[in-house]
A and B are shown apart, each in its own frame.
Chain A
């Protein structure tokens, strides 16, 4: 059997990678993808615990997370499209109207 800690370590690594991607990348699309990574990591975590405890609640929760992720991805990409139309690029550096 796979110990729980392995799953947790993996999911946490995935999560950190996702965070790094969010913080380091210029391109907004990549940032959104990194966010998806983070959500995946969370799913993995939930499922791992569900398996450990024998409780279906984890899996149910994961279903909802996936639903939310889908909705968020849709919205995020819609915003990106708007930003692209406004600025002509999806570079995060250029979206600095809030400067000062």
Chain B
């Protein structure tokens, strides 16, 4: 079968899954009549990431009451659900994962077929129908026809994304069966998850920017739905809104970027755009147009992939169920931004070369920042990586640590793309999907074992109690820390090497520090969770149990993946061959004309080994420090010492530098409500006051004038005529005296008059 005919099926199955699950859920819940009171984690993670442990007891009560109100059946405080059977549970459990699994199957088939056909050298496009058949759309460079087709593209880049999205997605679907099995909104959960898969695959397979954007928006919607899954919790609903709104801000930039592309190229199709750009980079890159478009697109990526300043939604998004965090906010959705930047690598490269040509040797930091879009990406990515890592050092909620870690790793990916190492960036996307998903699912397992506890201060010593979870998480932690041989090591090292080679030592330095911090806080997490004495309640300890197979099997698969997938991207200097991953992605990074291609940075072998050694050293240092600091019966000695020694610094880092508070004050209160109030004032005073009331007043005045005119002139004229006539009549009345003699006189006078007349006329 041809790949192009297989591609639509990849989308059909998740969509069908969404419809079936949704339909079943709707009919089951209309029958029951009561709303399903979702019982998620017992509200123990509050948005500020502060001390949340106290909520446990109270939330249990709330959950009890909710359960009683909703179903008239006392819920067990444990897993946040009553023992009431969930309607269609078996069907949901089947349809959800199977839909995703079928999607995976068809994806593999499609990739196989594509590889057989093209050996990865070309992209195949399946055009489904023409969405927007517009007429002649004149661009700046001559008239071109802009039309948007609903089309799917399978090339190296999208094949890579397709593979791990469907694979990791299926694993998470299976995991969810175990994790969400007791939640009353089970059907809703799976329908949303399937919808998410559909949207994500549309994004990945889209052959042009608008279709990508459709998927982009779709995953944003699903993110909102799934973050706010426990809609009765205020912080969850707010987090969903926050995610969507912040995302939307980024989308503004994205849309401007799409418009810019349409204006520049007259088309938004990837193949057509990149072909045109590659053939004539000077034309498109001139005047900073390419830079502007590339930066606009990157702003969209900032929103979706949580870079500074639009990262604030990601930590709050941990309010959603843990599998959701794993899938959406670790492996797939947040990497969409990186994917898009990598897809548009031509733009960034042209922008970079144009800046180099324009600025020449005297390139300053600010000069580069304003001319070189790739530089912007690198700087933002590096800054985000560093700052997020610092925030992650002081968090105590297990999911929050992982959230900041995600933001930091995304920063790494953008750093890679920013130094034009797109293969490196995408490699890190690939590896990160495996170990981060494993870490999140593992943390979900821990939370499940402890009956909803998310605070690491209440954990400890779980190593022997939940061994599967422990081992898999440990492997994933080693991977993220950059221990040699595991996945993260190769991808991180590639990025660091490229950064250094591209001549950005400062960025390299901060990136290395970030790697050290990453190792540190990850091992801090491990130590606090799995070693030391248990700090929770007796009841929790009594109920601790390993997760069911539906949860542990995906964990093991992901752990193996974290071990192995790194080897596909082994750097060329180690084994003497070419980096296979890089070679795989080569067709997605088309060559530019020679004068637009930066000369390859060639580093000496010793430099390469030296850099690798440096990053390993830093990673091991981080691990060692974390190991030492968080050991023993009381693991909080070190943080407390830091807290007392540097109270302000500690407070600032703990409260994430008060960025959220700043945004709330300035944008939400100031701009949002303030502007809203201003507009209300305008409406009340100007529109209502002047416009409506003023018009009424004016009309009244005009009517007064009009009536004056009417009374004075019109009535005056009428009355004047009447008065004149009356005067005339009064005068005439006197003629009719009724006396004979008067009449006789009149007659005589008449005769006299006639005689006179006759005399005159004769």
Contacts and interface: CB of A to CB of B under 8 A. Distances in A.
Interface of A: 19, 22-24, 26, 92-93, 95-100
A96 B745 contact: no
Interface in B711-740: 733, 736-740
Contact of B740 (A19, A95, A100): A95
B744 A97 contact: no
Contacts of A99: 736-739
A66 B288 CA distance: 134
Contacts of A98: 736, 738
B39 to A, nearest CB: 108
7 contacts: A23-B744, A23-B748, A95-B739, A96-B740, A98-B738, A99-B738, A99-B739
B738 A97 contact: yes
A7 B737 CA distance: 38
A46 to B, nearest CB: 19
Contacts of B748: 19, 22-23
A24 B544 CA distance: 147
Given A19-B748, A23-B748, A92 B741 contact: yes
Given A96-B740, A99-B739, A100-B738, 4 more contacts: A22-B744, A26-B741, A97-B738, A98-B736
Contacts of B737: 96, 99
Interface of B: 733, 736-741, 744-745, 748
The 7 closest A-B pairs by CB, nearest first: A99-B738, A96-B738, A98-B738, A96-B739, A92-B740, A23-B745, A92-B741
B19 to A, nearest CB: 102
Contacts of B744: 22-23
Nearest to B739: A96
A98 B741 CA distance: 12
A60 B96 CA distance: 146
A96 B748 CA distance: 19
Interface-central residue, B738, B739, B741, B748, by most chain A CB under 10 Å: B741
Contacts of B745: 23
B739 A100 contact: no
A70 to B, nearest CB: 22
Nearest to B743: A98
Nearest to B745: A23
A24 B744 CA distance: 10
Nearest to A25: B741
A37 B645 CA distance: 154
A86 B287 CA distance: 124
A100 B741 contact: no
A26 B742 CA distance: 11
Nearest to B740: A92
A19 B752 CA distance: 11
Contacts of A93: 739, 741
A34 B743 CA distance: 16
A90 B745 CA distance: 19
B756 to A, nearest CB: 15
Contacts of B741: 23-24, 26, 92-93
A88 B493 CA distance: 150
Contacts of B739: 92-93, 95-96, 99
A39 to B, nearest CB: 16
A23 B739 CA distance: 11
A98 B738 CA distance: 4
A26 B736 CA distance: 18
A29 to B, nearest CB: 14
A4 B688 CA distance: 103
Contacts of B740: 92, 95-96
Nearest to A99: B738
A14 to B, nearest CB: 16
Nearest to B741: A92
A24 B748 CA distance: 12
A77 to B, nearest CB: 16
Nearest to A100: B736
Nearest to A97: B738
B586 to A, nearest CB: 125
A87 B483 CA distance: 150
B742 to A, nearest CB: 9
Nearest to A22: B744
Contacts of A97: 738
Nearest to B737: A99
A95 B740 CA distance: 7
Contacts of A24: 741
A95 B743 CA distance: 12
A94 to B, nearest CB: 9
Contacts of A22: 744, 748
Nearest to A26: B741
B746 to A, nearest CB: 10
Contacts of B736: 98-100
A93 B738 CA distance: 9
A19 B745 CA distance: 9
A19 B748 CA distance: 8
A49 to B, nearest CB: 18
A2 B391 CA distance: 157
